[in-house]
Structure 1
């Protein structure tokens, strides 16, 4: 299968997750093209399946991802596709944070008209070494409420790589079943 993975990332964690997905799919004998939304990604026409991912910042998905989905909605709805949402809210133990992310994701899918059954919520990272001072203070304040004490002089990665691997494996198996009738 020929798969396109497009991601929108500010500090790099969504890109790191996308590269991890690319490697897993290649090991499973898929041809994969990885594209950053900033670099004018290819249109979906030449691909059997797509994975599109975006981080959430200030209760919003990457505008380039939203534009890509809007510009290619007909093709996306004709293909096997999945959306992976990367956020720190998923790390929280507070159920209302998870509900907020689910609502934000559903609103994104509704606004764009994208009909995919493959939606994954993935834990992000705190990249304090990439933040300016004001953002460090703001992110520490937000994170301390959900996570506990935070040192603004180091980065924290919360991504559950096993969960990501399980999602990608299920997606790969779905493609094999749909296109080849095998598992």
Structure 2
């Protein structure tokens, strides 16, 4: 089975939580997985497959992800590879696929690398853990998009069954 680099970039821990679930699924299918924060960086040369996950913050994926992609594009193109985005827009049923999610579509349009597999998952919303600035920005965005604005809201929008299906698809891609 494949030796896989699972690189992730998040802010409040939910991207890591999703990445850990994907790692566990891949390992249960016989893959060896190294989970690495994007800020720490890694060299994909020693891996058979690469999967990158990134959360949205203030409307953008972490710049470290695109820097990694630009630096290692040739290696990413030569291996089984995938990308998944975590964002609150994906809480909506009509925005929870790579084809319909505006952040995933924007990422693919901007990225010089075209992943062989794409995924998108709803994130979690916990106003109490955000800084005052982030809390107000997110509440405003939620107001615009008709989401929850109560500052006591704590809700998880991740479809864990879809995370599992995505991980299994990636396991098959990496093994091929």
Q: TM-score, normalised by structure 2?
A: 0.88
Size of the alignment, in residue pairs?
Answer: 171
The answer to whether the 8 Å contact 2:60/2:103 transfers is no
Aligned mates of 2:171, 2:93 — CA distance in 1: 30
Deviates more, 1:147-156 or 1:44-53: 147-156
- What corresponds to 1:26 in structure 2? 27
Say if 2:80 is the partner of 1:80: yes
Displacement after TM superposition at 1:156 (Å): 1.6
Deviates more, 1:137-146 or 1:26-35: 137-146
Listed as ranges, the gaps of 5+ residues in structure 2 are none
Displacement after TM superposition at 1:94 (Å): 6.2
Listed as ranges, the gaps of 5+ residues in structure 1 are 179-183
The answer to whether the 8 Å contact 1:3/1:30 transfers is yes
Q: TM-score, normalised by structure 1?
A: 0.84
The aligned runs of 1:44-59 (5 Å cut-off) are 44-59=44-59
Aligned mates of 1:13, 1:135 — CA distance in 2: 16
Deviates more, 1:144-153 or 1:114-123: 144-153
Q: Which has the higher contact order (CA 8 A, sep 6+)?
A: 2
Deviation by residue 1:121-153 (Cα, 9 ceiling, x = unmatched): 111111322212232233123224435444323
The runs of at least 4 aligned residues of structure 1 exceeding 4 Å deviation read: none
CA RMSD of aligned residues (A): 1.9
Larger Cα-atom Rg: 1
The answer to whether the 8 Å contact 1:7/1:36 transfers is yes
Q: Give secondary structure in 1 for the equivalent of 2:52.
A: strand
